[in-house]
Amino acid sequence: MRRGLRARGSLQRWPRNLKLGVGLMIAWILVAVFGPMLLPGNPTTMDLMNSLHPPSLAFPFGTDNLGRGVFTRVVYGSRIDLQIALFCVVPAFVIGTMVGMSAGYFGGTTDVVSMRLVDVAVAFPFFVAVIAIVAVLGPGLKNMYIAVACVGWVSYARITRAEILVVKQTDYVQAARLLGFSDRRILARHILPNVIVQALVYATSDAVLDIFLGSSLGWLGLGAQPPLPEWGLIIADGYSFVSQAPWISGFPGLAIVLLAVSLSLLGDGLADALRPELGRA
């Protein structure tokens, strides 16, 4: 990735969506890290005198039925939802690329076994598979991460394997073989840098999916548990007040949309920058 970006030249030559995506994601990380420190309120302290307040200067996003500021909760929630994206993507990414690499590079039994596993895993819709696993393990974020690691690696494995099958045939890999380099060295130093790009681009859209999943599970009562200010959970809280206080569910939803769009821009931008021939069609 580093090489690809450098080859594209300086920051000014980055595609517009990449600049926008990187900027927005930096903003999100700043909000998650510093936002809670700067806010005076607490996301879980109830204040029944101030319940169901419409948005105002004191409460930019209004208050919920327990008088908690929705803005404060959404800002604190950014920590949880970014954490969900990270903890869902990283294990799936690591497991998936490793399985895909060994399947594609070594072939044989490794390949057959892992690809049969992939066939089975893709038969179940991602949401359904995760919900089913969480159903037996019990609700909660930790079990959700386990469930995602169980099924989420599949896409990475497929992508990496397909890339490796191509890269394996290239001259520089053949040359490295002829020089007698070990498989480990060839995989790590020659193949990985070239196949990781696709997986990274996929990781951004996977992160969007995971944020959807995490907040959906929170909304269903199977993910983050109250009183955590997870966005999906806040939306669920607001459901009973759809006509009196639509702001409770409205604003955390907007936060999800904005975070999802930021990640999508980052992913589209990365794809455009790394595959210039495919971008800006």
Partner 1 sequence: MLNYILRRLLLMIPVAFGITLAVFLLVRLIPGDPARAILGIHATPALMAAVRTRLGLDRGIGMQYLLYIKHLVQGDFGISYYYGQPVSQLVLTRMVPTLVLLLYSTIISLLIAIPAGLLAGTRQGRGTDHALRVVATAGLGLPSYWTGFILILLFSVTFHIFPIAGYGNTWGARLYNLFLPALTCALNVAPLVMRALRTSLGEALGAGFIDTARAKGLPGNVVLLSHALRVAILPALNVLGLNIGFLVGNTVLVENVFAVPGLGQLMISSIGTRDYPTIQMVTLMFGVIVVLIYLVTDLGQILLDPRVRRSELG
Does position 208 interact with partner 1 (CB under 8 A)? The reply is: yes
**Min separation Cβ 65 and partner 1, Å:** 16
- Give every CB contact of residue 229 below 8 A, 6+ residues apart in sequence: 43, 44, 72, 73, 74, 76, 77, 80
Q: In the chain, what is the straight-line distance between the N-terminal and C-terminal CA atoms, in Å? A: 21
Please tell me what DSSP assigns to residue 244. T
Does position 29 interact with partner 1 (CB under 8 A)? The reply is: no
Query: 């469930």: which residue's tokens?
Result: 147
Does position 11 interact with partner 1 (CB under 8 A)? The reply is: no
Does position 253 interact with partner 1 (CB under 8 A)? The reply is: yes
Which parts of 261-280 interact with partner 1 (CB under 8 A)?
Answer: 261, 264-265, 268
3, 30, 106, 119: residue in contact with partner 1 (rule CB under 8 A): 119
Residues forming a β-bridge with 69: 63
30, 45, 239, 276: residue in contact with partner 1 (rule CB under 8 A): 239
Residue 119 burial (10 A CB sphere; 0-12, 13-18, 19+): exposed
For partner 1, the closer CB: 105 or 143:
143
Does position 86 interact with partner 1 (CB under 8 A)? The reply is: no
**In a 3-state reduction of DSSP, which class is residue 69?**
strand
The C-alpha angle with vertex 229 and arms to 225 and 230, in degrees rounded to 5, equals: 70
Residue 274 CA to its chain's centroid (Å): 20
For partner 1, the closer CB: 191 or 207:
207
Backbone angles phi, psi at 69, to 5 degrees: -65, 125
Of 157-165, 171-179, 184-192, 243-251, the segment contacting partner 1 by CB under 8 A is 243-251
CA dihedral 167, 263, 87, 77 (to 10 degrees): 180
Write each residue from 130 to 159 as x if it is in contact with partner 1 (CB under 8 A), else as -, in one continuous string: -xxxxxxxx---------------------
Does position 243 interact with partner 1 (CB under 8 A)? The reply is: yes
Name the residues that contact partner 1, by CB under 8 A.
Answer: 116-117, 119-129, 131-138, 208-209, 212, 215-216, 219-220, 222, 232, 235, 238-239, 242-243, 246, 249-250, 253, 256-261, 264-265, 268, 281
